[in-house]
Homo-oligomer: A and B are copies of this chain.
Amino acid sequence: MAQDNVLYCFAQSGNAYKVALYFALTGEAWTPQFVDFFNGETRSKAYRDTVNAMGEVPVLKRNGGMFTQSGAILSMLAEESGHFAPETAQERYEVNRWILFDNHKFTSNYATLRFLLSFAKTGETGATEFLRGRVKAAFKLANEHFASHEFAAADRPTIADLSMAGYVYYPEEVGINWDDYPHLQTWKARIAALPGWQHPYDLMPGHPLPV
């Protein structure tokens, strides 16, 4: 029986992209449900009450449940399907480690910096300077890791790579020079070469934003 994989998402959300990319790469059937984030949908009472009390995207509706937090969703999907899953206790640890690094350092600071500069349009502030410093530290660590590893957590792509891929393909300018991170660039290209890969702006609804 087909799963009712309805993904609450929008094109600019790299956290949603992590899950959409899993579906794109595995070929598992899914349906996007557009969330009008930029007009406040995730802050509405209806969204908090019926979709996600945490007010975030993505949310995956599946088997009658509503699942949140991209890393927890990816772990659940991989555990069920075996696709992009860790296979040993050591691999489970490595996958967890890189998904946590992604949520704690890599995605989180970059996503917030991009939101402030490209969408909230705050201009340069103490917050953006602070976040950019954190992004550079996280990018440096990831770049060093990919100097000697083809993929994040195993000798093949896992959900840890899908998690880290969340925000790396977006074109918005946030004052980070990608050329400073050549091994990260090589890894990005390696993920983008996987069969079924699509850019987030092609894979999810809502791009471009209305002017």
Which A residues form the contact surface with B (CB < 8 A)? Answer: 53-55, 67-69, 71-72, 75-76, 79-80, 89, 92-94, 96-97, 99-101, 103-104, 108, 125-127, 129-130, 141, 144-145
Bound form: Cα–Cα A199–B201 in Å:
48
Tell whether A72 pairs with B89 under 8 Å between CB atoms, given A125-B126, A126-B125, A144-B53: no
Find A71's partner among B67, B69, B80, B100 (CB 8 Å cutoff): B100
Contact indicator B93/A75 (Cβ below 8 Å): yes
Contact indicator B101/A54 (Cβ below 8 Å): yes
Bound form: Cα–Cα A106–B96 in Å:
18
Contact indicator B67/A93 (Cβ below 8 Å): yes
Bound form: Cα–Cα A71–B95 in Å:
11
